[in-house]
Amino acid sequence: MGPRTRFTARGAVRGPIFGDRARIGPAGVPPPAPRRYLVPPLSGPQGSRSGSVAPRQARPGPSSDPVTMTPAVRLVVGLGNPGSEYAGTRHNVGFAVLDHLAERLDTLFRGPSKLDSWSGPRGFQWARADVPPDAEDAPEGVDDANGEPRPAFLLKPGTYMNRSGDIVAPVARYLAKRGELAALPSEEPVPADAPMVPDPASILVVYDDMDLDVGRLRLRPHGGHGGQNGMRSIIHRLETDGFPRLRVGIGRSGTDAARHVLSPFSPSESEDIAVSVAQATDALMAWMGGTDLADVMTRFHSRWNQSL
């Protein structure tokens, strides 16, 4: 396969597109309430191919708002398989998006030993970043370029795809326990050693989808796993499918699906995927910068459809 195009913060370059690589207000003024993202109920049988399960409901309590610092971390997860033998394959396009996102944010991935007070499973890469506010989401006539940055946490599970939830769930609960990621409220006091229940609306997963043509992108606020084993694992471990996801099309094979997802893109497909990785990064930057998911979907789906 010939060299491919990849997009960085400094423009398009030739080469492989996949890499391994409490705010308090003024005196007497309460801090603004955290944003809440409502997840509508799902329809369809639980035993369907999509594996839909009803989103986990917040336990009743004094407040129905997620418990969090303001602004809260937004967790972005990219799925793939570890190891150089899988680099550049269709199944690793989630890693490609996270690598490009880290480049845009000028941050580096680290191992679990560098994560403060982490005592959970090993085998993942993470990065933190402060994301500039989404300028396009600012009210008309208001320059939000100097607004407060939003914290983000990027995560690449180092397990094989079908065990992605073994990393995503404990990391999400770790962030919620630390008060960084929004957590669903409890009607009773939570013991110090009890795991927090992360607000699924604060977690977005990027992964490959054979049901979309190569390079097509789709954002959704919730849904089933659609036969994707990494999503199946995450839904199982989080006990909800009510979290946002960004699907990146890799095209469908004629026969052997397992061989197809582990195959590299053709030279012509690589051009389309490089563009899609950059477009996906733009949408994630908007969401991490504080824009509601519904607004991100409206804005970027329109752009993506026009580029077809």
CATH number where 192 lies? 3.40.50.1470
> Residue type at 27?
A
In a domain, 16, yes or no: no
**Looking at residue 58, what is its pLDDT?**
40
Measured between its terminal Cα atoms, the distance across the chain in Å is 25
Chain position carrying tokens 């459809």? 305
Question: pTM of the entire structure?
Answer: 0.76
In the Cβ-directed half-sphere of 80, how many Cα atoms lie within 13 Å? 29
Our answer to whether residue 225 is catalytic in this structure is no
In a domain, 10, yes or no: no
State both tokens at 295.
């607004």
In a domain, 57, yes or no: no
Strand order in the sheet with 203-209: 124-131, 150-157, 74-78, 203-209, 245-249, 217-220
State both tokens at 195.
């795991």
The angle formed by the CA atoms of residues 73, 78 and 82, to the nearest 5 degrees, is 130
What is the span of the domain harbouring residue 256?
A: 64-306
In a domain, 205, yes or no: yes
**Looking at residue 193, what is its pLDDT?**
75
In a domain, 142, yes or no: yes
> Residue type at 36?
R
3-state secondary structure of 217: strand
The angle formed by the CA atoms of residues 147, 151 and 16, to the nearest 5 degrees, is 110
3-state secondary structure of 297: helix
**Looking at residue 254, what is its pLDDT?**
76
Alpha-helical runs (H) found in the chain: 93-105, 165-177, 229-238, 257-261, 267-288, 293-306
For the chain, which ranges sit under pLDDT 50?
Answer: 1-16, 18-70, 141-143, 145
φ/ψ of 192, rounded to 5, equals -60, -30
Give the total residue count for the chain: 308
| Rg of the chain (C-alpha set) | 19
Backbone region of residue 180 per phi and psi (left: phi > 0; alpha: psi in -120 to 50; beta: other values): alpha
In a domain, 91, yes or no: yes
**Looking at residue 76, what is its pLDDT?**
98
Across the chain, mean pLDDT equals: 80
**Looking at residue 40, what is its pLDDT?**
34
State both tokens at 113.
């030993």
What is the domain count for the chain? 1
In a domain, 41, yes or no: no
List the catalytic residue out of 91, 100, 222, 225: 91
**Looking at residue 71, what is its pLDDT?**
64
In a domain, 13, yes or no: no
Q: How many CB atoms lie within 10 A of CB 62?
A: 8
